[in-house]
Amino acid sequence: MWRRIRIYLFGVVLGSIVVWAMILRNRNVDEYLRWTPGERILEEIRTDSNTVLPANFMCLLDCSELTTLDYKNLINKGSVDFKKSSPRETPRKYVVEYKDNDRTTTAVFHFMNDEQHLKKIFVNGPEPVCNCTPDESN
């Protein structure tokens, strides 16, 4: 009986070492979850050539008291809130949130064909009323 348990445990340990050596060694930890839906959406947004920012982007940031660094943190470290998103509608809508200390930055993206359009960006709660001229192209 003990011989079988020792042989089994030896096989488990040996198999774990082989898996570590072939798959996990020298890998970036951030790459492990790149296959999840939220990470795939954020990867599409991060691709600068496909994300279309509105003409009044800087005005929207100023109105919400945000900086371009806050926007970069949002798309790099944020998470997609699928409860607030509507991925089955046309255009697909995704809400990305980033929590930093006591404030939450929220952005709404619309996915149309191969482009992602930033529609709204705001901090904590409802979207502020800004005097920015709306983007006519979207």
pLDDT digits (tens, 9 = 90+) for 107-129: 999 998 888 899 888 888 666 77
Same domain flag for 125 and 75: yes
Domain limits at 102? 34-138
Same domain flag for 106 and 56: yes
Same domain flag for 70 and 138: yes
pTM of the model: 0.72
Return all residues near 93 (Cβ < 8 A) that are at least 6 apart.
85, 86, 87, 108, 109, 110, 111
User: pLDDT by residue (tens digit) across 27-77?
Assistant: 766 666 677 888 888 888 887 677 888 888 888 888 888 888 989 999 988
Return all residues near 22 (Cβ < 8 A) that are at least 6 apart.
none
Same domain flag for 16 and 53: no
The number of folded domains in the chain is 2
Same domain flag for 50 and 66: yes
Same domain flag for 101 and 136: yes
What is the rounded distance in angstroms from the CA atom of residue 84 to the CA atom of residue 104? Answer: 14
Same domain flag for 46 and 103: yes
Same domain flag for 113 and 79: yes
Beta-strand relationship, 115-123 and 51-52? parallel
